[in-house]
Each structure stands twice: as structure tokens, then as C-alpha cells.
Chain A
Amino acid sequence: MAERYYQPEIETASREQIRQWQDERLVRQVRHVWDSVPYYRKKMEEKGLTPDDIQSAADLHKLPFLSKHDLREAYPYGLMGVPLKDCVRIHSTSGTTGKRVVAFYTQADIDLWEDCCARALTAAGATAEDVCQVSYGYGLFTGGAGLNGGSHKVGCLTVPISSGNTERQIMFIRDLNATILCCTPSYAAYLAETMKEMGLSPDQIPLKAGIFGAEAWSEEMRRDIEKTLGIKAYDIYGLTELSGPGVAFECSAQNGMHINEDHFLPEIIDPDTGEVLPDGEQGELVFTSLTKQAFPLLRYRTRDICVLSREKCSCGRTHVKMSKPRGRSDDMLIIRGVNVFPSQIETVLLNQGYSANYQIIVDRVNHSDTLDVQVEMTPEMFTDNVGEITRRQKELTDGLRSMLGIGAKVTLVAPKSIVRSEGKAVRVIDKRKI
């Protein structure tokens, strides 16, 4: 099947063309921010900068960073680039990592965001013939609104079902022949598990593709979901601070997400020193919003750890690709001095045949960190032989030790005892009081 694009002239533009857009838009955006966001202007002045110092994207590194801390300091209006009367909507983060962030949108901001989501849907194979079930939460969360808008732009019949009520989700998928599903990967896994329990085989499920984002997930989880639902599962990346889902999305190659570089200019930095790293090196992803008016963030530190690649992609898109983040640096746990990402634990579990229903409990006992991985027993992994189960449990403990570099305790728990999430899964419970 020939690759299809929502905006081919942008998505397959030459690198020179993209660079030219970025140069022009950055210069314009810095001027806009200088004129309308005193909070950022002060930061520039502290570094002795004026808009004249930014002549092209090559000067980007001179600008000061913005962090989540700045967003909290400037809450709620301090980073706005237009008067409130020009804004038409707000969205807010889910607050999983602390205080909520509130972001503002003009109509033009909403349009460009929905374009980005439409690119993602088209890359996943969506056309006007499709029925697109949007099972992300609607409301303040950007997931529902973003994919809903993108789905409209593509011309899909959009089912704005939001999250929750799993039985109704499955009923609509089957009765309306939904072909595209948009939700968090953990909810997709739960829907898949439920449909499997209902005895539905992949050919009885009309879905053909899914767009799953808003939380970290592993390749193994992708394979499980694809197999159970009989679909292609695509990752999508975004954050409320920049608009929402659609900042980057996966194409048919399924090996990284194309960043919509005409709107979001990426950099990779060393998270400790702030120094810009060359392409191909792993570091913290930083974004500069080139076109957003109401909430124009420059050099915003995402705390996501990933790698950028400019290798030519088989799909024909020319925009740079980012690897699946190893996890938001907020998700990263430091246990006994070692960096641990929940996604690493998930990889080991799924590789050894356990389910993606797990919970990581970190505690501190006698001044030493403990890591307890609770995983649900499955019919496939159960036998009446205690020795066999204990052996598998040890294999899992060994697998975790070699992946993480530190020891973990594995506890097998009863099925369904780990609470299922309809939005973002709660993977980590950190009981340490430091």
C-alpha cells in the first residue's frame, strides 16, 4: 500500500525547506515572546540577549531554558503570548507528576495541533472511510480533544466515547465496526485482555490500527496488543505544554516517531550540564514551539530521555525521528543509586511470559532502598508444582537483576488484584520518605 500523508508538501519537504521554515519561524517567535511574555524576556535580559541575537535556528542554543518549575512559577498567566480574549480554550496536564500545568490555545493553535494529530492518524492508515474510536479521556486532558480534532480533519466517523466503561467500548467497536482505536497503551492492553476473555479472536475484532500514547510502553507490550487485537499499534508523543498528542508520531516503519518539525523544533541536551548534544546521542529532549501563539514555549525541557535520528525513513517523511522515550525522567527511579525505568521492568516481564499488569513498589527499610515488583499470576504461567513456579520466579528475579543492575524482589499476586487504569496506569508506588 502506498504511503499516504495528510500534508505531503510539509511531511516530505526537503531538509533545506524545513530548515528555512524553522529559521524564519524561530526569529518571528522569539520576537513575539520578547514583546508579549515579560517572564521570558526577563530571562533573556539576564543572559544579555535581545531578539537581534537570534538570526536563525543555529542561534537557538543561546536562549535560556524553560522547565516545569518555570511553568509553576508563572502559573497561571505568566507565560501567555496573547491577551485572554484571543484564547478559545485551555487544557491541563493530568498532574501525575505534581502540580497541574494549564496551557492556553488560540483558534490557530488548535488548528495546527489538530493538523499534527491528523498527520498521525493518516500515517496509521486512517482515511475518511474509517470509524475512529477515541477512548482517551475528554475534558482537560489533551488526549481526547487532540485525536478527536485530528479524526475530524481526516474525515473519519469519530466516536467520542472517552475513557472508561469497557463493556460499552467493546460494544461500540463491534457494533459500529470501529477500525481505528486511540487510547493509552495500558487501556488498549486492558481492552485486549477483556476481549480475549470474551472469547473474541483477532478476526472478530474490526479494528485495524491503534494510536497509543500518553505513557511509556515497551516493544513487547506493542507486540502483545497487536497480536491480541489483530492490529498495527502506533506510538504517538506529545505534551500539554506544547499542545498535546501529535508533537511526534510513528509511521509505517514503526521504529521511531517523526517530530512535526515545522511546528516544534527539537534539541537533545545533556540533562546535567544543559549542553546541546549531537544527533544520535541520548539525552533530554528540549522543544521550541515555532508557531504557537497563546502558549509559546521556547527551549522547554521535557525531561524525556531519547535519541534523535535523521536517517532516511522508508515512509518518505523527511522530518527527524525521536526514539521512544526510555521514560520521562520524572518516571525514572533512583534505587540504591541506580537509574531504573519502569519500562525496563516491563520488558523483562513480557519477555518471560508474564502479563503487563504489574506494579513497582519502592520503599526504604533501614536506610536501604527496596524494590518489589508485583506481577499477576496468569493461567499460562501457573502449574500445580511449587518448585516450578519458584524456579520461574527466580528466573524473573535474575532477569531483572541483569537488566537493572540491582536486585528486586518478585511477588506473584492474584489475577486482577492490580487495579486497571482507564487512563494512565499507576505503575510505581514510591513509599520512601526522604
Chain B
Amino acid sequence: MSVKQISVFLENKPGALVEMTKVLAANDVDMRAFSLAETSDFGIARIIVDDLYKTTTVLKDAGFVHSVSSVLAVAIPDVPGGLSQVLAVMAQEGSNIEYMYAFLGGKAGSAYMIFKVAGHHKAAAALGAAGIRLVDQEELSEL
């Protein structure tokens, strides 16, 4: 159970990010999660959206280089040690995390994180077995 994330190449210069968000806004794309990775000369915006097909199409038309990858969306138990519990399962499984970021859902008392791991099927199974809830694309759209 994974969700699709769109990664967009951005130049590191003023206005690069707003160029992208303008395209999304003009096409009524609703972002569910967003994170930005940057180096000194370029950035990658990682977004999860309500309509994958429409978003990739409008980004392509606007000339943005992007790629789609599968990531895990995990509902983190909203208690002290919640994140640690999730990470422990992944470590146990030997799943290496390439990157992760948190986002807020609309429901009170819940926290969510996106994980990019190598071999996400295996990690997803292990999390499920440990009673940790994964969120699918559909549920994510409703959060």
C-alpha cells in the first residue's frame, strides 16, 4: 500500500517555487503534502496531490521536469514515542529511509509522515504486521 508522490525539479533562484505553485493553483490542484529538498544550486519539490494524472500533465505542459515515485504514508500514533515505534519497525526490517517528511491531516489527534524507502513493499508489510496504519491514496485525499 503506497501513495504516488510527484517530485519537481526547481532551480535555486527567487520565484522558482512560485512558478510551480501558480501552475498548480491555476489548474485547481489540491496539495495534500509538500516538502522541499534543496542543495546550494537546485531544489526538488515533493508533492502529493489529489489528482496525479492532471497534475503531471499540467506540469509537463508548463515545462517542469518531474518524476513520480511510490512512497509510504504512515499514520503515526499521536503519543510520545509514536515516531520511534515506526522507525524501530523499519530498522528491524533493514529498510533504509532515503527521506521523510511530516504533514498534518485535518483530523485532530493524528499525525502523518511520508517515507521514501528502498523496497517499500517489504517495509509496508512489516509496518502492517506491527499494527501501524498506512494510508492509501484515496484516504489521503480525504484527510
- CB of A385 within 8 A of CB of B65, answer no
CB distance from B36 to the nearest CB of A (A): 11
- CB of B116 within 8 A of CB of A384, answer yes
For A414, the chain B residues whose CB sits under 8 A away are 9-11, 16, 63-65
* A414–B66 alpha-carbon span in the complex (Å): 11
- CB of B67 within 8 A of CB of A383, answer yes
- CB of A416 within 8 A of CB of B63, answer yes
A386 in complex: contacting residue of B16, B39, B63, CB < 8 Å: B39
* B98 interface contact, C-beta 8 A: yes
* A412–B39 alpha-carbon span in the complex (Å): 11
Q: Which residues of A contact B (CB under 8 A)?
A: 377-379, 382-387, 389-390, 411-417
* B120 interface contact, C-beta 8 A: no
* A411–B46 alpha-carbon span in the complex (Å): 21
Pairs of residues from A and B, 5 with the lowest C-beta to C-beta distance, nearest first = A384-B7, A382-B65, A377-B65, A377-B9, A386-B37
* B139 interface contact, C-beta 8 A: no
A–B pairs, 14, beta carbons within 8 Å? A378-B65, A382-B7, A382-B65, A383-B7, A384-B5, A384-B44, A386-B37, A386-B99, A389-B44, A412-B11, A412-B42, A414-B10, A414-B16, A417-B11
- Binary interface profile of B, 104-124, with partner A (CB < 8 Å = 1, else 0)? 000000000000100000000
- CB of A382 within 8 A of CB of B66, answer yes
B9 in complex: contacting residue of A382, A387, A390, A416, CB < 8 Å: A382
For B11, the chain A residues whose CB sits under 8 A away are 412-414, 417
* A384–B10 alpha-carbon span in the complex (Å): 11
For B42, the chain A residues whose CB sits under 8 A away are 377, 389, 412
Secondary structure class of chain A's binding surface, majority of residues: loop
A-B contact count (CB 8 A): 49
* A434–B39 alpha-carbon span in the complex (Å): 33
* A378–B60 alpha-carbon span in the complex (Å): 12
For A386, the chain B residues whose CB sits under 8 A away are 37-39, 44, 99
* B85 interface contact, C-beta 8 A: no
* B142 interface contact, C-beta 8 A: no
* B41 interface contact, C-beta 8 A: yes
* A75–B71 alpha-carbon span in the complex (Å): 68
* A384–B98 alpha-carbon span in the complex (Å): 10
For B46, the chain A residues whose CB sits under 8 A away are 384
- CB of A384 within 8 A of CB of B67, answer yes
- Binary interface profile of B, 86-112, with partner A (CB < 8 Å = 1, else 0)? 000000000000110000000000000
* A385–B9 alpha-carbon span in the complex (Å): 11
Chain B residues 22-78 with CB under 8 Å of chain A are 37-39, 41-42, 44, 46, 63-67, 69
For B44, the chain A residues whose CB sits under 8 A away are 384, 386, 389
CB distance from A420 to the nearest CB of B (A): 12
* A39–B67 alpha-carbon span in the complex (Å): 64
Task: Look across to chain A and name the residue whose beta carbon is closest to the beta carbon of B41.
Answer: A411
* A389–B38 alpha-carbon span in the complex (Å): 11
CB distance from A396 to the nearest CB of B (A): 13
* A379–B5 alpha-carbon span in the complex (Å): 16
Task: Look across to chain B and name the residue whose beta carbon is closest to the beta carbon of A387.
Answer: B98
* A384–B67 alpha-carbon span in the complex (Å): 7
Q: Among the interface residues A377, A389, A414, which one has the most CB atoms of the partner chain B within 10 A?
A: A414
For B9, the chain A residues whose CB sits under 8 A away are 377, 382, 412, 414
For B39, the chain A residues whose CB sits under 8 A away are 386, 390
